Homo-oligomer: A and B are copies of this chain.
Amino acid sequence: MEPSDCENCAIRSVALFGEIDPETVARLQDQAQEFREPAGTVLYEEGGNADAAFTLREGIIKLVRNQPGGREQIVRLLVTGDFFGAEGLFGDGHHHSAVALTPVFLCRLPNPLLEQLRTADPTFTNALLNRWRRALNEVETLALDLGARKAEERVASFLLHWQTKHGPQAEWLPLPLSRSELGDLLGLRVETVSRVMARWKREGVFEERGGHLRLLDADELHQLVDHSGA
């Protein structure tokens, strides 16, 4: 666990500190620690004490809510630049568990640091606010998918969102989710996800190789998602 060099962070422009006064960053950056974890690591557990937040510099993380019945629901997927786990700012425990889906490279920002940033630079809270707003928007979109769309449409919706999230120029998208995890995200069972995706692969809607996939017929998917009524 090393102190971070936030000033020269490769993802600073996209990350939280991108919007913050450089001087403040310089003064406080040694309180942030950077570290790596392998895929599968549980960063924190739902309900656990939230004594630090994180910035994801590399890799993909799932935020998960668990249900007694053994089912779990992925509530959000995080990619490079995303900020998460700050529930502790309000004395709350974590609302969900965070699990690395790939090897990850993280910055850990302990609560005291966040507090200092909050008082030192008003724009920091704004940046936080903006993150929270975007997160809310994403979860609402997920709720729409889960509540108002059927299996096929949900998978299509996910693929398109995932594409967007990685920039439309990216040809091959990483897909570090198993079919089972896609099910946990979309409220479907493994078999259902598999059936839909297997068919689309046969029909040439997308192709898949080594944990990455490439959309070949995005139109087909778009049609399913927005034109679903007819």
A67–B144 touching, CB < 8 Å: yes
In the complex, whether A1 has a CB less than 8 A from a CB of chain B is no
Residue from B67, B71, B133, B144 within 8 A of A73 (CB atoms) = B144
Residues A71 and B148 in contact in the complex (CB < 8 Å), given A119-B122, A128-B129: yes
A interface SS class:
helix
- Cβ 8 A contact of A136, one of B89, B122, B132, B228: B132
Which residue on B lies nearest to A186, using beta carbons?
B147
Question: A87: which B residues are within 8 A, CB to CB?
Answer: 133
Q: List 28 A-B contacts (CB under 8 A).
A: A65-B148, A67-B144, A67-B228, A67-B229, A68-B226, A68-B227, A70-B229, A71-B148, A72-B148, A73-B148, A89-B129, A90-B130, A92-B133, A118-B122, A118-B126, A125-B125, A125-B126, A128-B129, A129-B132, A132-B132, A136-B139, A139-B140, A139-B143, A143-B146, A146-B146, A146-B147, A147-B186, A148-B187
